[in-house]
Amino acid sequence: MYREWIEVLQTSPLFRGIGQEGLNTMLECLKPRMKRYKYREIVALCGSPLSGIGIVASGKVALTKETYSGNRIMLGILGAGDIFGETAAFSNDRTWPVTVIANDDCCLFFLPPDKIQGNCSNICTAHSILILNMLNILSSKALMLNKKIEHLSAKSIRGKISSYLLEESRQTNETAFRMQMKRHELADYLGIPRPSLSREMTMMKKEGIIDYDGSWVQINDILTLERSIG
């Protein structure tokens, strides 16, 4: 059942450092549940009981949150190998902290948290690596949350956009890069009305601060972007 997905699963940070044989053994022990979803189908609703730690085998999922006013905030887009639900899986409140929606037709695995934090029946070395990988992922997610807080704390729409673009540039170590989100997804992620995001980016392009074509962005004036954040 799992063999056709081994190569994809090995790309996940959760299984980093675990060889194919070890992963095969571990999957037989963990016995994750596999399920397919259609585009825009709801995978999990915020507040509903957690069904396991999700891992994307194919396609993409969107993590979203509804505000009290009814607006949807985009928290992120996950692709093959990415995991979700891990922060709630090891808390006292095992409910989904976000709403998960299929962003493509996708195939997902759900791993039982209790089997991850406990010893597997084979007491394998791979399981120790898995636990260390999970700790690393939780730490990385905390840092990512801090980055998002930095974006949202900017006082203006331009500041929020500038903060995001500068972070993308730092991550790629390039001033020209492809944005990981579509324009409407970025608007939701930054909590900005979509027309306002497009209008501000158009103004920034006219001023020569940035240039863009579709998802490709070129930063022409880093100093001006940095000044926009304050």
**Residues 151-180 pLDDT 10s:** 888 889 999 999 999 999 998 999 999 998
Instruction: Look at the block and give the residue holding tokens 């299984």.
Output: 15
- Distance from C-alpha of 70 to C-alpha of 65, rounded to nearest angstrom: 10
Token representation of residue 123: 């007491």
pLDDT at 213: 93
E-state strands within 103-164: 106-111
List helix spans (H) across the chain: 6-10, 20-30, 86-89, 113-117, 125-153, 157-172, 183-190, 194-206, 222-229
Where in the sequence of the chain do the CATH 1.10.10.10 domains occur? 154-229
Instruction: Look at the block and give the residue holding tokens 């990512």.
Output: 144
Token representation of residue 162: 């500038």
pTM: 0.65
CATH of 154-229, one of 3.20.20.140, 1.10.10.10, 1.20.120.720, 3.40.1390.10: 1.10.10.10
pLDDT cut 70: percent of the chain above it? 94
Average pLDDT over residues 116-120: 64
Quick one: CA torsion of 136, 146, 107, 20, rounded to 10 degrees? -20
CATH of 3-144, one of 1.10.274.100, 3.90.79.10, 2.60.120.10, 3.40.50.850: 2.60.120.10
Residue pLDDT, tens place only, 183-221: 888 988 888 889 999 999 999 999 999 999 988 999 999
SS3 assignment, position 99: strand
Cβ–Cβ under 8 Å, residues 46 and 75: no
pLDDT(128) > 90: no
Residue pLDDT, tens place only, 100-111: 999 999 999 998
Residue pLDDT, tens place only, 130-155: 888 888 888 887 777 777 788 888 88
Nearest Cα to Cα of residue 202 among 174, 170, 161: 161
Where in the sequence of the chain do the CATH 2.60.120.10 domains occur? 3-144
